[in-house]
Amino acid sequence: MVSNNHDKRLSIGIVGGGIGGVAFAVALSRDAGLDVHLFEAAERFSEIGAGVSFGPNAVRAITLLGLEKPYRDIADASPAPFEDVWFEWRRWHDDAYLTATLAPGCGQSSVHRADFLEAIVEQLPEGIARFGKRCVEVEQDSDGVTAHFADGSTFTGDILIGYDGIKSAARDHVLPPAQYGDLGPFWSGTYAYRGMIPTQQLEAAMEAKGADKRLALVPQMYLGPDRHILTFPVKQSQLVNVVAFITDRSTPNPKLPEGEEWVSSVTQEELLGVFAGWGAGSQAILDCIPEPTRWALHELPELPRYHRGRVLLVGDAAHAMVPHQGAGAGQALEDAYVLASLLTDEACNRHNAEKTLAAFEAVRHARTCKVQRTSHEAGDVYEFAGTGIGDDETKLIENLETRYDWLWNHNLQDDVLAAKKRLGREQDGGSRMAEARGT
Q: Which residues are identified as catalytic? A: 194
Helix, strand and coil percent figures for the chain, each rounded to 5: 35, 25, 40
Q: Are 310 and 361 in contact (CB under 8 A)?
A: no
Helix (H) or strand (E) run with residue 119 in it: helix 113-121
Q: Is 299 helix (H, G, I), strand (E, B) or coil?
A: strand
397 φ, ψ (degrees, to nearest 5): -60, -45
CA distance 250 to 244: 19
Q: Are 403 and 221 in contact (CB under 8 A)?
A: no
Helix (H) or strand (E) run with residue 422 in it: helix 412-422
Q: Are 24 and 40 in contact (CB under 8 A)?
A: no
Residues in CB range of 379: below 8 A, 6 or more apart: 188, 190, 228, 245, 247, 322, 324
CB burial readout 239-273, b (16+ within 10 A) else e: bbbbbbbbbeeeeeeeeeeeeeeeeeeeebeebbe
Longest dimension (CA), the chain: 68
CA distance 307 to 311: 6
195 closest CA partner among 232, 159, 158, 140 = 232
